[in-house]
Amino acid sequence: MAVFKGAGVAIVTPFKPNGEVDYEKFAQLLEFQINNGTDAIIVCGTTGESSTLTHEEHLDVIKYCVEKVAGRIPVVAGTGSNCTETAIYLSTEAEKYGVDGVLLVSPYYNKATQKGLYKHYKAVADSIKVPVILYNVPSRTGCNILPETVVKLCTEVENIVGVKEASGNISQVVRLMALADGKVDLYSGNDDQIVPLLSLGGKGVISVLSNVAPRQTHDICEKFFNGDVEGSCKLQLQAAELCEALFCEVNPIPVKKALDLMGMEMGTLRMPLTEMDEANVPRLEKAMRNFGIIS
CA distances from 261 to 38, 216, 286 (A): 20, 18, 11
* Rounded Cα gap, residues 212 and 258, in angstroms: 7
Per-residue pLDDT, 1: 77
CA distances from 223 to 58, 72, 269 (A): 34, 22, 35
Residue 79: which domain range?
A: 8-229
Q: Catalytic: 164?
A: yes
* Rounded Cα gap, residues 155 and 212, in angstroms: 36
In a domain, 249, yes or no: no
Q: For residue range 69-121, what is the model confidence (pLDDT) as tens digits?
A: 999 999 999 999 999 999 999 999 999 999 999 999 999 999 999 999 999 99
Q: For residue range 120-140, what is the model confidence (pLDDT) as tens digits?
A: 999 999 999 999 999 999 999
In a domain, 21, yes or no: yes
In a domain, 87, yes or no: yes
Q: Catalytic: 135?
A: yes
CATH number of 171's domain: 3.20.20.70
Rounded to the nearest integer, the mean pLDDT of the chain is: 97
In a domain, 197, yes or no: yes
In a domain, 284, yes or no: no
CA atoms within 13 A on the CB side of 258: 30
Among the options 5, 63, 121, 135, which is catalytic?
135
In a domain, 72, yes or no: yes
In a domain, 261, yes or no: no
Element (H, E) at 133: strand 132-136
pTM of the shown model = 0.97
Per-residue pLDDT, 276: 97
The total of structural domains in the chain comes to 1
CA atoms within 13 A on the CB side of 166: 25
Which among 40, 101, 45 has a CA at the least distance from the CA of 72? Answer: 40
pLDDT in tens, the chain (295 residues): 799 999 999 999 999 999 999 999 999 999 999 999 999 999 999 999 999 999 999 999 999 999 999 999 999 999 999 999 999 999 999 999 999 999 999 999 999 999 999 999 999 999 999 999 999 999 999 999 999 999 999 999 999 999 999 999 999 999 999 999 999 999 999 999 999 999 999 999 999 999 999 999 999 999 999 999 999 999 999 999 999 999 999 999 999 999 999 999 999 999 999 999 999 999 999 999 999 999 9
Among the options 5, 63, 164, 256, which is catalytic?
164
In a domain, 251, yes or no: no
